[in-house]
Chain A
Amino acid sequence: MDRSVNLLDVALGFGEHQVSDQSPLSGKVVVIEDCVETSGSFVLHQIMKRLLSPPSSSHSLIFLAFARPFSHYDRILRKLGCNLAAQKANNRLVFVDMLMMKCSDGEEDNVSAVAKLFREIQATVRKLRSVTDTNITVMVDDMSLLEISATNSHHVLDFLHYCHTLTSDSNCSLVILNHEDIYLSLERPAYLLQMVCLADVVIKAEPLASGLANDVHGQLTVLNKGISSNSRNKLQNFQFRIKENGIEYFYPGSRT
């Protein structure tokens, strides 16, 4: 068990709470921000694996896939040692394929498309809750694509707030991937600010300032705003190297 807990897990609060069934993320919002140079999707994969693999048997995951088809995640997670197809059959993973989502047919439809999506999520949460008392996580990969398909960013903001109510009402967790660099040029990136404001944990994936390297793929900055049991670990920074079967995390300069 100890072996599989890495720096990111610790920063998120996994590893200490394993005694109880309660997930350290329940009721929290995790926002992952990345940029063109460094993709942050591996963090999603890791959290996915952590939630679905055996020690935490009381987790369910609702995955909104805007970016990739199921086969992509299936292959990646299989290499990480987690079988998504089986989890899907067990109803522990609800995979919502949003690739073809289209809501550009006028304003009225537009509202309903995003609202409909939320209702779908809400219904799924209720259904999962009715079976067992599980921890439910809603994952979005990625939010910027929802923004594009919704065309109106206000609706996306509404969606975000609706989803946020899930965390307080049903104690769900919300894990969102978004791209930070899209908003950097905007004068008032309301959307990004709202998201960071709602977030309990912000994970930022960046490239190394010194450029590309073969053995260090980038750095993560984890800001844990939540009331963690050990409050000293609020802001953490470490580097990572992505491999097929897992991710190596290490503090800068500590790699042998």
Chain B
Amino acid sequence: MAAPNVRTSSFSRNRSVVSSPQTPGLKCGPNGTTFVSTGIRDLDRILGGGYPLGSLVMVMEDPEAPHHMDLLRTFMSQGLVNSQPLLYASPSKDPRGFLGTLPNPGSSKEDKPTAPDPDQGESLRIAWQYRKYMENQKNAIDDYSNDFDMRKPLERQFVAGRPIDCVSLLDSSDLSVAQDHCATFLSKFPRNSSNIASVGRIAIQSFCSPLCEYSDKESDMLSFIRLLKSMLMVSNAVAIVTFPPSMLSPSSSTRLQHMADTLLSIKAIPDGDKDLEKLLTGYKDINGFLNVHKVARINTQVPVILEAQTFSMSLKKRRFLALECLNQAPVDGSSGTSYGTSGSCSGSSSKSGALDF
């Protein structure tokens, strides 16, 4: 995408910075990127705002943990709540049925009333002139991302009549059908100017599943992802693709990882692991682990170095998905040297074992 007018100086006024995008559900990021929410506030925070538009998110599944579905569900729900068109593909007979399992937005702070308490406003009179800013800020956040109640199905109003395209990957012997769907879907969101009219979301579940007929044609799958990535780069959309790396040859799996802009992986937590139980606080509440391998680098060459790469996935109040840095439980001074080093236990080589400290 070349600028029509050639700049002769390396300095140019960036006009798009001043006007924040008017479309709800978008947030300005650095380097001229725009974020959409992942549907999990913690993940938004970890990734520095969300998934940038035009990026390809790959999630490596763990055959023993279904939490990649949670990432898909929140991602899709968030899109529907923000009335963004959606394309969903999965290797099931009835992909539309999955929409019934999407979570509904809810407030994780149920105890407090959602509307600002007038009395509370009175008592904060000192800061009255800031109140409008606070309200603005609050609105902005609510427009952008929600908390999702994983136990409550998404209300019909968000699904009915919305532009949702569901594709079953089982139907065809090759990927051309899925490719056509993606191409027509993405052609609706061309990236031409700074103002973004609408944003699309693509969710592809268990891409390399052995159920699909094309599952033995790795080169087809790779070129599909490459084309998807190329199309994404010139459109205002985000795609999230989950795949089981164990089903692929290692070299193809690495190729897919290279093509990902944002690379996440899911790890199951061993049940009743005594050692781990001793090591981690809140072991009982942890459902699984999320590793962040790569954070999208669009329009920049600087890598994002996270404080930690491994996060625990848990349900707050049994409803709201939360990601937390692993907290090491305090150990006896006699046996351990790593007392109270919370948060910094990033697994640098998370491939070797489930957990590295």
Residues of A within 8 A of B (CB): 36-39, 41-42, 45, 68-72, 74-76, 78-79, 81-83, 85-86, 88-89, 99-100, 102, 104, 144-145, 148-149, 151, 179, 181-186, 207, 210-214, 217, 242-244
CB pair A69 B1 closer than 8 Å: yes
Q: How far is the CB of B339 from chain A (nearest CB, A)?
A: 20
CB pair B300 A76 closer than 8 Å: yes
Find chain B residues with CB under 8 A from A181 CB. 254
CB pair B348 A99 closer than 8 Å: no
Find chain B residues with CB under 8 A from A242 CB. 301-303
What would be 21 A-B contacts, judged by CB atoms less than 8 Å apart?
Answer: A41-B301, A70-B1, A74-B3, A75-B299, A76-B299, A83-B10, A85-B2, A85-B6, A99-B230, A100-B231, A102-B223, A104-B223, A144-B255, A144-B258, A145-B226, A148-B219, A179-B258, A184-B254, A185-B250, A185-B254, A244-B300
Of the four ranges (under 10, 10 to 19, 20 to 34, 35 or more), the interface on chain B belongs to 35 or more
* A179-B223 contact given A42-B301, A86-B8, A243-B302, CB 8 Å threshold: no
Q: Which B-chain residue is minimally distant from A179 (CB atoms)? A: B258
Find chain B residues with CB under 8 A from A85 CB. 2-3, 6-7
CB pair A185 B258 closer than 8 Å: no
CB pair B6 A37 closer than 8 Å: no
CB pair B258 A72 closer than 8 Å: no
Number of A-B contacts (CB under 8 A): 114
Find chain A residues with CB under 8 A from B249 CB. 185
* A182-B255 contact given A69-B234, A70-B2, A145-B226, CB 8 Å threshold: yes
Q: Does B31 contact A (CB under 8 A)?
A: yes
* Interface 9-residue window, one of B38-46, B121-129, B150-158, B290-298: B290-298
Find chain B residues with CB under 8 A from A82 CB. 10
Q: How far is the CB of B228 from chain A (nearest CB, A)?
A: 11
* A244-B230 contact given A36-B257, A36-B263, A183-B251, CB 8 Å threshold: no
Find chain A residues with CB under 8 A from B306 CB. 212
Q: Which A-chain residue is minimally distant from B255 (CB atoms)? A: A182
- Chain B 257-294 interface mask (CB, 8 Å, partner A; 1/0): 11100010000000000000000000000000000011
For window 322-350 of chain B, which residues contact chain A by CB distance below 8 Å? 346, 348-349
The 4 closest A-B pairs by CB, nearest first: A211-B348, A185-B250, A99-B230, A75-B299
CB pair A36 B10 closer than 8 Å: no
Q: Which A-chain residue is minimally distant from B54 (CB atoms)? A: A69
CB pair B258 A36 closer than 8 Å: yes
Q: Does B197 contact A (CB under 8 A)?
A: no
Q: How far is the CB of A179 from chain B (nearest CB, A)?
A: 5
Q: Does B305 contact A (CB under 8 A)?
A: yes
A82, B257: Cα distance in complex, Å: 30
Q: Which of B222, B231, B302, B348 contacts A148 (CB 8 A)?
A: B222
CB pair B293 A36 closer than 8 Å: yes
A217, B306: Cα distance in complex, Å: 12
Q: Which A-chain residue is minimally distant from B250 (CB atoms)? A: A185
Residues of B within 8 A of A (CB): 1-3, 6-10, 31-32, 219-220, 222-223, 226-227, 230-231, 233-234, 249-251, 254-255, 257-259, 263, 293-294, 297-303, 305-306, 309, 346, 348-349
CB pair B346 A211 closer than 8 Å: yes
A75, B297: Cα distance in complex, Å: 12
Q: For the A-B complex with A85-B7, A182-B254 known, give 20 more contacts whose Cβ atoms are closer than 8 Å.
A: A36-B293, A36-B294, A39-B301, A75-B31, A75-B32, A83-B10, A100-B227, A104-B220, A144-B255, A148-B222, A149-B223, A151-B223, A179-B258, A184-B251, A185-B249, A185-B250, A210-B348, A212-B309, A242-B303, A244-B300
Q: Which A-chain residue is minimally distant from B11 (CB atoms)? A: A78
A83, B7: Cα distance in complex, Å: 8
* A86-B6 contact given A39-B303, A185-B250, CB 8 Å threshold: yes
Q: How far is the CB of A183 from chain B (nearest CB, A)?
A: 7
* A86-B297 contact given A69-B1, A148-B255, A211-B348, CB 8 Å threshold: no
Find chain B residues with CB under 8 A from A144 CB. 255, 258
Find chain A residues with CB under 8 A from B3 CB. 74, 85
CB pair B305 A214 closer than 8 Å: yes
CB pair B303 A83 closer than 8 Å: no
* A81-B258 contact given A39-B303, A212-B305, CB 8 Å threshold: no
CB pair A83 B294 closer than 8 Å: no
A45, B297: Cα distance in complex, Å: 14
CB pair A72 B299 closer than 8 Å: yes
Find chain A residues with CB under 8 A from B255 CB. 144, 148, 179, 182
Q: Which A-chain residue is minimally distant from B1 (CB atoms)? A: A71
Q: How far is the CB of A118 from chain B (nearest CB, A)?
A: 20
A152, B220: Cα distance in complex, Å: 11
Q: How far is the CB of B106 from chain A (nearest CB, A)?
A: 35
